[in-house]
Amino acid sequence: MSEKVTEDKPKQSNSSCKNQNFIDWDEYFMAIAFLAAKRSKDPCTQVGACIINEDKKIVGVGYNGMPIGCNDDEFPWSKNQESELDNKYLYVCHAELNAILNKNSSDLKNCKLYVGLFPCNECAKCIIQSGIKEVVYLSDKHAHKNGTIASKRMLSAANVKYSQLNPKNKKIVIDFNEIDWDSMYQPALSPAPKNVS
Ligand SMILES: O=c1ccn([C@H]2C[C@H](O)[C@@H](COP(=O)(O)O)O2)c(=O)[nH]1
Ligand SMILES: [Zn+2]
């Protein structure tokens, strides 16, 4: 199975009547990162990450969650408890780390990572060591924090490019009913079969 990697700009309408309402590659991979984030049990911040190779094939997806075997009903999700041991930070695996560890290819050399939030310094180290060469992120809300500043220093030193995505589509809705729309709302286009007993 291999789909053709095509130019991702929606073209002007032409006689082929193809759907003009498709999302571009960046939006597609970022949306997959966001969909993965929906699996996160973190009540405050759900982060997802999606890694693609040079052929635009997805080679890893992950979200922030407790390590395997660490029950996410038992480990804490708080962030403001007095004891550090009662807060999530010492335990939770970050989305980028999970996406890297979930890889389904032999290595991640020259891959590109899409992530909702700019990677922290610990994730930056994993990104660099894995061979990923580019990071595309959406939010840089922790830009002022030392962790983010250190992360950017390391990524730049290691020649890992990073850029903020400004998606054309600010919202992408997934509606499971859509698959039946042609028959439900356009009966004239798909008339009921004749002579069906
Ligand atoms: O690079 C990162 C940074 C953070 N995360 C995860 C880790 C935590 O589950 C949340 C951050 O929680 P806050 O309540 O917003 O402090 O985000 C990540 O996956 N990747
Ligand atoms: Zn991180």
In the reported structure, the alpha carbon of residue 95 is separated from the centroid of ligand 1 by a whole-number distance in angstroms of 8
Nearest CA to ligand 1 atom 15: 45
Give ligand 1 pocket residues (Cβ under 6 A): 42, 44-45, 47, 64, 79, 88, 92, 94-96, 117, 119-120, 123
Asked whether the whole model's pTM tops 0.90, one would answer no
92-94-97 Cα angle (round to 5):
125
Confidence of residue 4 (pLDDT cuts 50, 70, 90): low
- Cα 181 to the center of its chain, rounded Å: 27
Asked whether the beta carbons of 48 and 138 are under 8 A apart, the reply is no
What ipTM is given for this predicted complex? 0.99
Name the pairing type of β-strands 112-117 and 58-63.
Answer: unpaired
What does the pLDDT look like over 85-111, one tens digit per residue?
999 999 999 999 999 999 999 999 999
- Which residues line ion ligand 2, judged by CB < 5 Å? 94, 120, 122-123
Asked whether the beta carbons of 9 and 16 are under 8 A apart, the reply is no
166-134-137 Cα angle (round to 5):
30
- Rounded to a whole number of angstroms, the CA Rg of the chain reads 21
Nearest CA to ligand 1 atom 5: 94
Q: Which residues pair with 112 in a beta bridge?
A: 52, 134
